[in-house]
Amino acid sequence: MTQTKIPVDPAFAATAQITAESYARDYAHSIADPNEFWAEKAQRLDWITVPTRIDESNFALDDFRVRWFADGELNVATNCLDRHLATRGDKTAILWEPDEPNEPAQHISYRELHARVGRLANALRKLGIRQGDRVTIYLPMIPEAAVAMLACARIGAIHSVVFGGFSPDSLAGRLADCDSKLVITADEGRRGGKRIPLKANVDEALKRPGTTAVETVLVVRHTGAAVPMQMPRDRWYEAVVEGQPDACAPTAMNAEDPLFILYTSGSTGKPKGVLHTTGGYLLFASYTHACVFDLREDDVYWCTADVGWVTGHSYIVYGPLANGATTVMFEGVPNHPDHSRFWDVIDKHRVTIFYTAPTAIRALMREGAAPVQRTSRASLRLLGTVGEPINPEAWRWYHETVGEKRCPVVDTWWQTETGGILISPLPGATDLKPGSATRPFFGIRPALVDANGAILDGAAEGNLVLLGSWPGQMRTVYGDHARFLDTYFRTYPGSYFTGDGCRRDEDGDYWITGRVDDVINVSGHRIGTAEVESALVAHPKVAEAAVVGFPHDIKGQGIYAYVTLNAGENPSEALRKELIAFVRQEIGAIAGIDHLQWAPGLPKTRSGKIMRRILRKIAENLPDQLGDISTLADPAVVANLVRERRDA
């Protein structure tokens, strides 16, 4: 197959930190001698004790460990703040853009951010938070979210950020799983002119069993809405930080001490608490951020993710701040007040690097070129995408209409589990191909395996695995190390299984094809089919449910649910709406079912296993591609579903 190739722009390469030659040389070095390579790169951080032990990881199950820089000591907050004060004290660290464009933006300097973090860190200590305690952050996209993360890091508390779109039940599950002692929230969040009742959601969550470890709730006054405060549990954030000193002695952390937990959906069971540690994570977030975005001192860098996802952790907060960059934090959405908002913000703040998700690009592409073209975007020099495969059409629109062919597009593949970018072009080094994440980052050894685990060479398609560790790799599933090993290391022994399918072309470029497990990627967010199914069967009228993903023009994948009602219950439009609302209530707005089909029966094998492969084909409306259905217990069930789908 021939692919369009967009060669590296010589003008970009002329000033880039990494060129094709240096990438080839340094990548080879990183694979040949990872200890030497990463020991040298580790010098970009400020260590209290410089590590002498580098990579001690081993994926073999009889001697398993993921361990980096084990004798190193450092503090993440001092790396993100204190060390910049001498040279960048007055530089803007966080440039906050509010939901409403007519309200003032905030420019928070490194000096001011350092002081705010110090005050909160002191307040947390005073409230009894000690090293290793868990603190849950349930905030909108306001500077306090970054302040809270860094304040935890300063005193060695482990943060767990929960996306503000999650329901009280989802929040409760995450609070309970890690026995959080303290919650930081706001009266309300705002997004696209709508209000999100965050404090009320926390109140609801804390009524659920398992959340009794929570002693304190700090509430940021953001919209000013009246919220009931339950004393002595609830405290105004403003009041507790007031009068605290700006200076706060940082806790010396071992490189392998936990930094944060971030919950993510898997193919089975409840969300997993992905645990990241201190030294390797920070080094990897900062180094990938500097290389992939070819970062310069005067860049204004904007990643549109929410801090509730790993992209926000690594590429709004930790990577950019460790690098002393100016990072834009945006409270709003791309279509409020209109479809020019992204481009208006770029012009307003002279953004040079812009990093967003394919789903946002597709939604804006649908509105045509006019909302883009009425803006300048002259400040832009680099574009990036993350979260899901980008279709070549959307890639081209981004490159041509948004970037006017001036800006390289980096399609960055990674996962919550990987901590940072693993496969991506480097803008001064890599020829681009619309739809391909192209080449592995330094130190990354991707491989493709067939169903039996045999490694495929050359141009091939298979399951994507990684043959060795990298500093930003997750260390465990919080509280369940066995699940960590089972999920990632048992499928293909000796390697880390990503859960993604992938193709490698003749040039050695990688093309991620999407999840091969029962995880759906909706607008770049992971939803486990099992989670949606268990929410559905929790409804009193539902007997059984099966959920699959199907192609969706804007979201990439949509959620398709097959529902069998209890005997005596009848399908109706009202019940369909009720079930969809019920699932959103149980999980959160990201679990919006796009299509719900009534299923008098579900296709099962004779041993009772639901045949999702068949359900996926029916959802895609490809009934002639059902494949082998000879193992079905009752073929009539399938004929029924196909007929209903066709007639719908």
- Feature table: binding site for Mg(2+): 537, 539, 542
The answer to whether 204 and 168 are in contact (CB under 8 A) is: yes
Minimum CB distance to ligand WT7, residue 261 (Å): 14
CB nearer to ligand WT7: pick between 440 and 499: 499
CB nearer to ligand WT7: pick between 305 and 364: 305
CB nearer to ligand WT7: pick between 343 and 414: 414
Q: Show the beta-strand stretches assigned E in 318-459.
A: 326-330, 353-356, 382-386, 409-412, 446-449, 455-456
Other CB atoms closer than 10 Å to residue 624's CB: what's the count? 6
Is the torsion defined by CA of 402, 408, 411, 412 positive or negative?
Answer: negative
Minimum CB distance to ligand WT7, residue 315 (Å): 9
Q: Which two tokens stand for residue 573?
A: 């439009």
* Distance in angstroms (rounded) separating the CA atoms of residues 455 and 443: 19
Which single residue brings its beta carbon nearest to ligand WT7? 416
SS (H, E, C) 471-526: CCCCCEECCCHHHHHHHHCCCCCCCEEEEEEEEECCCCCEEEEEECCCEEEECCEE
The phi, psi pair for 322, rounded to 5°, reads -60, -30
CB nearer to ligand WT7: pick between 257 and 500: 500
CB nearer to ligand WT7: pick between 276 and 526: 526
Complete DSSP assignment for 287-310 = HHHHHHTT--TT-EEEE-S-TTSH
Minimum CB distance to ligand WT7, residue 433 (Å): 13
Minimum CB distance to ligand WT7, residue 339 (Å): 23
Terminal C-alpha separation, the chain: 37
Minimum CB distance to ligand WT7, residue 512 (Å): 4
Complete DSSP assignment for 132-167 = T-EEEEE--SSHHHHHHHHHHHHHTPEEEE--TTB-
Beta bridge partner(s), residue 632:
605
Q: What is the identity of the amino acid at 392?
A: P
CB nearer to ligand WT7: pick between 341 and 526: 526
Minimum CB distance to ligand WT7, residue 361 (Å): 12
The answer to whether 253 and 73 are in contact (CB under 8 A) is: yes
Closest by CA position to 463, among listed 418, 515, 420: 515
Other CB atoms closer than 10 Å to residue 258's CB: what's the count? 22
CA distances from 407 to 15, 48, 388, 402, 428 (A): 14, 39, 21, 9, 11
Residues that constitute the known binding site: 191-194, 311, 335, 387-389, 411-416, 500, 515, 523, 526, 537, 539, 542, 584
**What length does the chain have?**
648
Residue 5's SS3 state is: coil
CA distances from 266 to 24, 36, 309, 311, 518 (A): 35, 35, 15, 18, 8
Minimum CB distance to ligand WT7, residue 499 (Å): 6
Q: What is the identity of the amino acid at 139?
A: L
User: Which residues in 428-446 are b (16+ Cβ under 10 Å) and which e?
Assistant: bbbbbbbbbbbbbbbbbbb
Minimum CB distance to ligand WT7, residue 386 (Å): 5
Minimum CB distance to ligand WT7, residue 597 (Å): 25
Q: Which two tokens stand for residue 163?
A: 């996306």
CB nearer to ligand WT7: pick between 92 and 521: 521
Minimum CB distance to ligand WT7, residue 502 (Å): 9
CB nearer to ligand WT7: pick between 22 and 391: 391
Residue with tokens 């001498």: 86
CB nearer to ligand WT7: pick between 138 and 315: 315
Residue 92's SS3 state is: strand
Minimum CB distance to ligand WT7, residue 282 (Å): 17
Q: Which helix (H) or strand (E) holds 192?
A: none
Residues that constitute the known binding site for ATP: 387-389, 411-416, 500, 515, 526
The answer to whether 429 and 442 are in contact (CB under 8 A) is: no
Minimum CB distance to ligand WT7, residue 515 (Å): 5
CB nearer to ligand WT7: pick between 275 and 638: 275
Minimum CB distance to ligand WT7, residue 611 (Å): 23
Closest by CA position to 606, among listed 630, 642, 639: 630
Complete DSSP assignment for 117-129 = HHHHHHHHHHTT-
CB nearer to ligand WT7: pick between 428 and 524: 524
CB nearer to ligand WT7: pick between 18 and 527: 527
Minimum CB distance to ligand WT7, residue 414 (Å): 4
The phi, psi pair for 637, rounded to 5°, reads -60, -45
CB nearer to ligand WT7: pick between 309 and 484: 309
Interface residue list for ligand WT7 (CB under 6 A): 264, 309-311, 386-389, 411-416, 437, 498-500, 512, 514-515, 521, 524, 526
9 DSSP assignment: P
Residues that constitute the known binding site for CoA: 191-194, 311, 335, 523, 584
CA distances from 376 to 196, 478, 529 (A): 33, 46, 42
CB nearer to ligand WT7: pick between 237 and 293: 293
β-pair type (519-522, 525-528)? antiparallel
* Distance in angstroms (rounded) separating the CA atoms of residues 414 and 276: 15
